[in-house]
């Protein structure tokens, strides 16, 4: 059961395939089709018989290869934020593929060629890349082309080229049998659209459930970190509250003794100072715990590091571990979601604390490396065994004792860093400590 959950969440935490990636896959698939056409052309005499001439096949193969090279060369210019334009582009590719397939069939047995079933493939592609309605349209167009080819050859409008591996003998077929054959193909096309569309709807619903589960897991992991921080913050807050309570008593005595206003103002200034300290502590904790949208904004890297260090200050002090900051003098700017990056840093810092012994130190630093910001967290702990390094980003994998870790922190952190277009890496040697490196793309301008 646990292994099944790990696999499900693991798939969820991987990056989603975009429509652009699907188009790239479609283009690669067409190269395989070109290779298949080349093999079919070379062995056309053996496969289809002596009636099939190879020249039209070579021309169709060259046309398909040329079109695909145009698609591939123009791939980088496709709009990345205009889904409708991308879908029209896919629709154009499918339409041209259907025409090529129709001509291919015309020169090799027409509707009797088993390759006529490849029309089904394009309805699948339309269902996957476009929509159910688009798939129905592709099925109707495919059936129209098949009918045009079949009845055109039957009526003598187009020359019929008999082949050795035909699904039926075209010369022995009457119009009723041909209509039945067309109807069967049409039903196969439409049923394929129905089943694929239904399957995709079910998968989409499951993906929505998994996305909701992912959000709940990320939320629960953050709350676990908040619980760790709050346990120390309660002690940190007690000190200024004690000072405030003491000053309130002193003020009562001074008012009763009718002390001058100047003396009272000094006590009030002290109270105000400690109220501000409590407010700063609680505000930071509340900001961190609050759920926020994933919105990318320019962020100062050093400010992010300082805020994360402030959040974990008390747990580090209670564990008697020193947290050192080594900040870049340039204070580089990244484009990110502050709350989500804080979640990553706090999680890595708390892991570093848990791996460290009292009296040691953890260092967090920021630096520029070419076009990236690198945030490093290095501890002097026991290190991570080589066999565990390959699994630390897997969901539910943890080396902590039961009740001291969910095994989700690093998996969620890995996902959050990837959503920022970055990556998180780890280097560790047993007995020599561990270093986590978080690489994020720099803001292009470097300024707000």
First to last CA, the chain: 49
Higher pLDDT, 377 or 275: 377
Structure tokens at 33: 């089709």
Would the pTM count as exceeding 0.85?
no
Beta strands in 223-379 (DSSP E): 297-300, 322-326, 333-336, 361-369, 372-378
* Confidence bin at 409 (pLDDT 50/70/90): low
pLDDT in tens, 69-124: 888 888 777 766 567 778 888 888 888 888 988 888 888 888 888 888 888 888 88
Question: Could you give the dihedral angle defined by the CA atoms of residues 5, 10, 11 and 16, in that order, rounded to the nearest 10 degrees?
Answer: 140
* Confidence bin at 222 (pLDDT 50/70/90): low
Structure tokens at 140: 């109707």
Higher pLDDT, 288 or 321: 321
What integer is the mean pLDDT of 158-178? 76
Which DSSP helix (H) or strand (E) runs through 304?
A: helix 301-311
CA atoms within 13 A on the CB side of 228: 25
Asked if 372 and 335 touch (Cβ cutoff 8 Å), the reply is no
Could you tell me which residues come within 8 angstroms of residue 63 by beta carbon, excluding any fewer than 6 positions away? 100
Q: Burial, 126: exposed, middle or buried (Cβ in 10 Å; 0-12, 13-18, 19+)? A: buried
pLDDT at 364: 92
Asked if 309 and 364 touch (Cβ cutoff 8 Å), the reply is yes
Quick check: 278 pLDDT over 50? yes
């Amino acid at each position: 059961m646990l292994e099944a959950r790990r696999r499900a969440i693991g798939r969820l935490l991987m990056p989603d395939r975009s429509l652009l990636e699907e188009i790239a896959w479609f283009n690669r698939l067409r190269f395989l089709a070109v290779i298949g056409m080349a093999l079919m052309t070379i062995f056309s005499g053996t496969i289809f018989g002596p009636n099939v001439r190879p020249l039209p096949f070579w021309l169709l193969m060259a046309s398909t290869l040329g079109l695909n090279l145009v698609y591939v060369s123009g791939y980088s210019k496709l709009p990345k934020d205009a889904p409708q334009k991308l879908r029209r582009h896919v629709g154009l590719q499918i339409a041209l593929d259907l025409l090529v397939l129709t001509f291919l069939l015309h020169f090799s047995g027409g509707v009797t060629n088993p390759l006529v079933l490849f029309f089904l493939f394009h309805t699948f592609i339309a269902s996957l890349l476009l929509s159910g309605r688009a798939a129905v349209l592709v099925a109707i167009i495919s059936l129209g082309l098949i009918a045009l080819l079949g009845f055109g050859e039957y009526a003598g409008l187009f020359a019929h080229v008999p082949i050795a591996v035909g699904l039926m003998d075209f010369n022995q077929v009457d119009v009723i049998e041909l209509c039945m054959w067309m109807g069967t193909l049409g039903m196969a096309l439409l049923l394929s659209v129905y089943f694929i569309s239904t399957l995709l709807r079910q998968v989409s619903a499951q993906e929505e459930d998994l996305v909701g589960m992912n959000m709940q897991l990320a939320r629960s992991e953050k709350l676990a970190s908040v619980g760790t921080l709050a346990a120390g913050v309660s002690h940190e807050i007690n000190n200024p509250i004690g000072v405030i309570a003491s000053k309130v008593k002193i003020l009562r005595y001074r008012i009763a003794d009718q002390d001058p206003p100047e003396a009272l103002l000094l006590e009030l200034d002290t109270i105000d100072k400690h109220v501000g300290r409590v407010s700063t502590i609680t505000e930071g904790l509340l900001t961190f715990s609050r759920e926020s949208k994933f919105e990318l904004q320019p962020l100062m890297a050093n400010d992010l590091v300082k805020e994360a260090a402030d959040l974990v200050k008390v747990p580090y002090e209670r564990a008697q571990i020193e947290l050192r900051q080594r900040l870049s003098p340039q204070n580089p700017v990244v484009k990110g979601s502050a709350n989500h990056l804080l979640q990553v840093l706090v999680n890595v810092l708390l892991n570093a604390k848990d791996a460290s012994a009292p009296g040691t130190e953890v260092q967090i630093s920021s630096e520029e490396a070419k076009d990236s910001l690198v945030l490093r967290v290095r501890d002097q702990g026991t290190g991570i065994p080589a066999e565990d390094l390959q699994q630390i980003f897997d969901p539910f994998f943890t080396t902590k004792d039961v009740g001291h870790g969910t095994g989700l922190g690093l998996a969620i952190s890995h996902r959050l860093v990837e959503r920022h277009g970055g990556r998180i890496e780890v280097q560790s040697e047993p007995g020599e400590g561990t270093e986590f490196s978080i690489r994020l793309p720099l803001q292009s301008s470097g300024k707000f």
